Structure 1
Amino acid sequence: MTPSPAAPVSAPVPLGPPAAVVFDLGNVLVGWDPEGFYDREIGEDRRRALFAEVDLHGMNDLVDKGALFRETIYQWAEARPAWAPEIRMWYDRWHDIAAPAIEGSIRLRDRLRAKGVPVFSLTNFGRYSFEEALPRLPFLAEFDRQYVSGLLGVIKPDPEIYRIVEEDSGIAPGDLIFTDDRADNIAAAARRGWRTHQFEGWQGWAQRLVAESLLTAEEAGL
């Protein structure tokens, strides 16, 4: 009996360029390093003790979910008098914590927009901290669509925030490409079918945008 010929194996259909590019903000467009800030201000040993005794990142999550900015931080300081001055620094010196601007990423965002590529932001950022940030960091608002956790009432990596982006933009998950510095945020997007890039520097992000046929190497600054 003559064996039947093997069925041809279909090659994967190459994906076209993404329909929109989604940027995180902290540590992608602007620095965000509270530990480094406190190390410089109070020394590493005291910083470690502070962060061990006070869940400052948990406090900031409340702000990112929409809680009042100054009031939340000052309430935490009042409830923890041993660390009150240091806790208040999270608000009083916030502009030193959220710094500096990452110019390479800003250029990439601007070059994408100049080519007509829709560019969105998807950020864990408080409603009120975002308002305070814009006068000093106006580039944070220069997006075609903005998805700010403090306005939405949900933070990454909750799947709901990614669903909101899909529904609001009308773009299928596989046609979105997203960069974020945090592995958990990237993993949550990937589970929904988004294309993802974990941000470690603007050059690596630039290379990925070139690979996705969104920019040329020259446009990307490579």
Structure 2
Amino acid sequence: MASSVDVHVRICGQEIIKYDLEIKALIQDIRECPGPQSALLDLNAQVKEKFGQLRLRIQDMEQMSREQDKETDQLIIQKETESQRKQLLSNQTAWRKANLACKMAIDNMEKDELLHTGESSTIRQRKATKVSLVQTSSDITESLMSISRMMAEQVNQSEDSIGTLATSSRTVHETNEEFRNMTGTIHLGRKLILKYNRRELTDKLLIFLALALFLATVLYILKKRLFPFI
């Protein structure tokens, strides 16, 4: 992994940790929120914004993992990304529990206050509380569904990566087999060339001997005819 990528991954990881700590602090504020409902709604809006920023940074880290050249670097960053996703889910659960606890506390406080007010005021406040609770639950449900979609996409991407690695492995194996076959062919060709060279040398030697025998025969015949008494 290049040094520039290392810097980007570290910066991304630091931002993820920052958002995680900010979310935890806001969740604690929700647990301790004494009311009113508007204050709780404001805190939930801040938490929702931080979750959105956190999800974006986790997606950036996931993209960085896919851009790595080394498989070991990919696995390290993917492992960290998966850990941050689990932490995000844990924060979602804590957020929902904190909201429910705060809602119950505010409801109890409002019930005590409503004992000293008229029945119509009590009904209006209860309706407002229910509407707020329904809205908060809807927001949390939407966030959980978004996380589920992210995890499903990660599973599909992991399957694609595994398929790519398997294809690459088969290609390397086939290439090695081709190299082995080529080596055998070259070795056989070398043997044939050496054998051909030896045969060519033998043929030349036989031709030379035949030519010498022929010349000797001719000389012998000429000698007998020209010099019959020698």
Q: TM-score range by the shorter chain?
A: under 0.3
Q: Based on CA coordinates, which of the two structures has the bigger radius of gyration? A: 2
What TM-score, normalized by structure 2, do the two folds share? 0.24
Comparing both structures, which one devotes a greater share of its residues to strand? 1
TM-score of the two chains, using structure 1 as the length reference: 0.25
- Relative contact order, higher structure (CA 8 A, sep 6+): 1
